[in-house]
Chain A
Amino acid sequence: AQTVTQSQPEMSVQEAETVTLSCTYDTSESDYYLFWYKQPPSRQMILVIRQEAYKQQNATENRFSVNFQKAAKSFSLKISDSQLGDAAMYFCAREGGGGADGLTFGKGTHLIIQP
């Protein structure tokens, strides 16, 4: 089975600081999508950022950016100027090139923001 690995079960960061969450994945596809989802205590899954594998440029969304290393199959999420509202579970996910068979998720990283 193709897997997504998040090696940090929990991370803690001071408010206003920067934190990086790690993700590695396995795939035999050359064209695919990668995602970071946020899940706050409400349980709602919220898309944070998306990266298309054929694009070399790293995706950015305001304070959120990724470091996408295709050859290394690495997809880390950097959160700058951390805010209390960023506290949540963060899941890395991969979609296969065929598209139809859904997302494969990592086990998640619990992000704690220290005031």
Chain B
Amino acid sequence: NAGVTQTPKFRVLKTGQSMTLLCAQDMNHEYMYWYRQDPGMGLRLIHYSVGEGTTAKGEVPDGYNVSRLKKQNFLLGLESAAPSQTSVYFCASTNPTRGGLDEQYFGPGTRLTVT
């Protein structure tokens, strides 16, 4: 089991460029999430998905789009990168349980720098 993997691990973009971050999980989890982590902050939820073909906005969705065409993959897109999107991005996945969530399993993170 690879768990949750993220591609790429590092990326530098120029302002206005676009890119897609790929998250893949092999645990057959229903729920997947994208978070961002800025210095001195905890993780903040960007978008999430509760199943194949469904997505929803989190706390900080502006400037990002997502897609979940396959259950095991969750893509995060930046259409026109801005310096404010410089951050570390984490993907996570889990399954629902009675009354809440099981443990969220996190990927190793992607460090994105926008110049």
Residues of A within 8 A of B (CB): 1, 4, 31-33, 35, 42-45, 47, 50, 52, 54, 91, 93, 95, 97, 99-108
Most buried by B among A93, A95, A103: A103
**Which of A33, A42, A106 has a CB less than 8 Å from the CB of B101?**
A33
The answer to whether A97 and B99 touch across the interface, beta carbons within 8 angstroms, is yes
Given A1-B59, A43-B88, are A103 and B43 neighbors across the interface (CB < 8 Å)?
Answer: yes
Among B44-52, B62-70, B75-83, the one that faces the other chain is B44-52
**Cross-chain pair count, CB within 8 angstroms:** 71
The answer to whether A99 and B43 touch across the interface, beta carbons within 8 angstroms, is no
For the complex, give the distance between the alpha carbons of A11 and B38 in Å. Answer: 20
The answer to whether A45 and B42 touch across the interface, beta carbons within 8 angstroms, is no
Residues of A with C-beta under 8 A to B90? 45
**Which of A33, A42, A47, A105 has a CB less than 8 Å from the CB of B43?**
A105
Residues of B within 8 A of A (CB): 31, 33, 35, 40-45, 48, 50, 56, 58-59, 88, 90, 92, 96-97, 99-101, 103-104, 106, 108-109
The answer to whether B100 and A52 touch across the interface, beta carbons within 8 angstroms, is yes
Residues of A with C-beta under 8 A to B101? 33, 95, 99
Residues of B with C-beta under 8 A to A93? 42
A6 to chain B, nearest CB (A): 8
For the complex, give the distance between the alpha carbons of A112 and B44 in Å. Answer: 24
Q: What are 11 sample pairs from A and B whose C-beta atoms fall under 8 A apart?
A: A33-B100, A33-B101, A42-B108, A45-B90, A47-B104, A50-B103, A95-B100, A95-B101, A99-B31, A99-B97, A102-B48
Residues of B with C-beta under 8 A to A4? 42
The answer to whether A31 and B40 touch across the interface, beta carbons within 8 angstroms, is no
The answer to whether A32 and B42 touch across the interface, beta carbons within 8 angstroms, is no
New contact pairs (19) apart from A44-B106, A99-B99, A104-B45, CB-CB < 8 Å: A31-B100, A33-B101, A44-B109, A45-B43, A45-B92, A45-B106, A47-B104, A93-B42, A97-B100, A99-B31, A99-B96, A101-B45, A102-B33, A103-B104, A105-B42, A105-B43, A107-B42, A108-B41, A108-B42
For the complex, give the distance between the alpha carbons of A105 and B103 in Å. Answer: 14
